[in-house]
A and B are shown apart, each in its own frame.
Chain A
Amino acid sequence: MKIDKTKLSRRDFFKAGTIIVGGIAVSSTFIPFDGLLFAIERPKGKGKWYGIGIDINKCIGCGKCAKACKIENNVLDEPFYFRSWVEQYTIKMDGSILVESPNGGIDGFKQSVPDEEIFKSFFVPKMCNHCAKSPCVQVCPVGATFETPEGIVLVDETYCIGCRYCVQACPYGCRYIDPGKGTVDKCTLCIHRLDKGMQPACFEICPTEARIFGDLNDPKSKVNEFLKNHTCMVIKPHLNTDSKLFYNALSSEVR
């Protein structure tokens, strides 16, 4: 078929042009809505995909992990900035629950409840859950918080605008604003050590090996062995953040 160019009027040209340009413009307005689907998809790295296991039965509450983290990562010394900390849960005979974490557990714990009033007591080490569907990554307005292909949630502090939306969105209280820098700070799983083939500081220091980490994509990894041999649970599973921090012997009181 031959196109008769002489019959193409200027009006036709503008008509066709408007339809094409307008169509692109209209369809491009749907692109932002892709962002709505963030928490629906379940990402899983193809290579290494780090996961963490913590055995509550093994934790003795020495607080060395919290201290090692502060030293290794130059975390501010004040008792309200932590990338890693330990909580002591005490369930009393009357059913009431006491949770304590003085200075994040760095100085150790003293049991304030008399023995005869205690139903059970245990320690829960806390750190970033490195969620696969991180609410913090989801809400960052500029994309300064991101997930590496290995599943580690990091912050680009040269890019963070300090809006604190991610701090609000983290269900586990793992983020804070560094008052000196004005940007957000959190656990990096000691990626600088991982790169050198070393373990994160809190894992290496743990005297009872209560902390295990490894590649969830490797069936023979330590973390998969841990998950296979223990009944593990994540904190706040109903939030569906796809947390990659799995606890053995997690009591239902822990939040």
Chain B
Amino acid sequence: MEQHIQNLYEVLSQVEGFVYPNEIELNWSILIVLYPFITGLVAGAFILASLERIFKVRILKPTYGIALLTALSFMLVATMPLISHLGKPFRAYEIMITPHLSSAMAIFGFVYLWYLMVVLLLEIWFDYRRDMILWANESKGVKRFLYRALSLWTTDISPKAIALDNKIGYIVTVIGVPSAFLLHGYVGFIFGSIKANPWWSTVLMPIIFLFSAIVSGIALVMLIYIIVSKVRKVKLNMACLDMIAMYLFYILLIDFVLEGLDQIHRIYEAEESFEVLHKLVFGKLFFTLFIMQGLLGTIVPLITLGIFQFYKPKENIRKVIYLIVPVLILIGVFFMRWNVVIGGQLFSKSFYGYTSFKIGLIGPEGYLMAAFWLIVPLLILAFLLWLLPPWKKKDEQSEIQSA
């Protein structure tokens, strides 16, 4: 606590203009930046998987399994930054037991559980049930037991049962797409519904969050697909990557237009808060908004992927660019969350001044903690890819035909 107070004294000395005395401290720090970032990755990865499944974009097949497992890995961790940020983390369950229904945040637990339990787990289970049974027969010891347990000791792999699996899996995916939209649009609503904060309070916020989520999830799966293929030493499916890049381009374009529209609207209306936000954007947020989110995360990928829609350079060049572009997009979306969450707290609600943001390397809200919550889902993903390798699924052709 002493350290915390000391930090606040330091921040107090850096206040510009006037802020309400209680506004010195930034209430939501890097962990709350991570929360929409991670849930966004989940929603985006799932939507990429559904493109293959529902919209029958067969060319995306190599990424289907990876996308689902990526969504699950990040979903399992999504609540952790939130819970570890609470002042009373052991009371977190109260949100589920006694939700206050007028609060946007209260619904999170239910949306989360719905998405995790009903959509993701069910879809993955029905997708892998047959394979888990087959793998159990081939494995020995603990791994055999693990597959048996994961398949809930079911054994029926008759064509009829598999057809049913596929049917249910399809229905779950159909339910899953609006659910993914709900999950992330809802996260945007948490911010967009705060009328006290003009930087957050925009009706476009859920839609902007949703599209940036789809962009980030697709970029992540693209990146993971490339890395996994390198590790497995298999040839990249360039047709698949080209297709992902095309989706990435169009959705990023929509995202860019929406965010641009939001800013144009803000500038044209120039409400009471305009001056303070204008100075914020060109001051404390300049680097993260214009350089990281705007230039690196949006403009460069848009131009690169845009050119690819008309002219495709050689495969080797495309391979390198398909590795760089998703990284840039992920950085851009991360800073988009940063600009919303941190940016929304840097100015005073009196509109007369700014506080500053101080973050340490260690501590419960430090950079290391944030890095930890980004690395954990990758470790989970590595484990899941080892346990449930999508590329070892058998007889994919028959599955495709029956779906």
Please list the residues of chain A having a beta carbon within 8 angstroms of any beta carbon in chain B: 31-32, 34-36, 38, 78-82, 85, 87, 97-101, 104, 126, 135, 137-143, 159-165, 167-177, 179-184, 239, 255
B101 touches A161 (CB 8 A): no
Interchain residue pairs with CB less than 8 A apart (23): A31-B101, A35-B102, A38-B102, A78-B9, A79-B21, A80-B24, A81-B21, A139-B194, A140-B103, A142-B94, A143-B100, A159-B91, A159-B94, A161-B94, A161-B95, A162-B86, A168-B28, A169-B194, A169-B196, A173-B349, A183-B87, A255-B349, A255-B351
A182 touches B350 (CB 8 A): no
Q: How far is the CA of A81 from the CA of B12 in the complex (A)?
A: 12
Besides A141-B108, A142-B106, 4 new A-B residue pairs in contact (Cβ under 8 A), listed by A number: A35-B106, A140-B103, A172-B349, A179-B4
| A80 CB contacts on chain B under 8 angstroms | 8, 12, 21-22, 24-25
A167 touches B352 (CB 8 A): no
Cβ of B197 within 8 Å of any chain A Cβ, yes or no, is: yes
Please list the residues of chain B having a beta carbon within 8 angstroms of any beta carbon in chain A: 1, 4-5, 8-9, 12, 17-25, 27-28, 82, 85-89, 91-92, 94-95, 98-108, 190, 193-197, 272, 345, 348-353
| A174 CB contacts on chain B under 8 angstroms | 22
| A168 CB contacts on chain B under 8 angstroms | 27-28, 194, 196-197, 345
B196 touches A255 (CB 8 A): no
A164-B87 in contact given A179-B5, A255-B350 (Cβ < 8 Å): yes
B99 touches A162 (CB 8 A): no
Chain B's closest residue to A78 (CB) is B5
B95 touches A141 (CB 8 A): yes
| B94 CB contacts on chain A under 8 angstroms | 142, 159, 161
Chain A's closest residue to B20 (CB) is A173
| B345 CB contacts on chain A under 8 angstroms | 168
A163 touches B105 (CB 8 A): yes
| A137 CB contacts on chain B under 8 angstroms | 102
| B91 CB contacts on chain A under 8 angstroms | 142, 159-162
Q: How far is the CA of A139 from the CA of B196 in the complex (A)?
A: 12
| A31 CB contacts on chain B under 8 angstroms | 101
Q: What is the CB-to-nearest-CB distance from A239 to chain B, in angstroms, rounded to a whole number?
A: 6
Chain A's closest residue to B17 (CB) is A99
| B352 CB contacts on chain A under 8 angstroms | 97, 99, 255
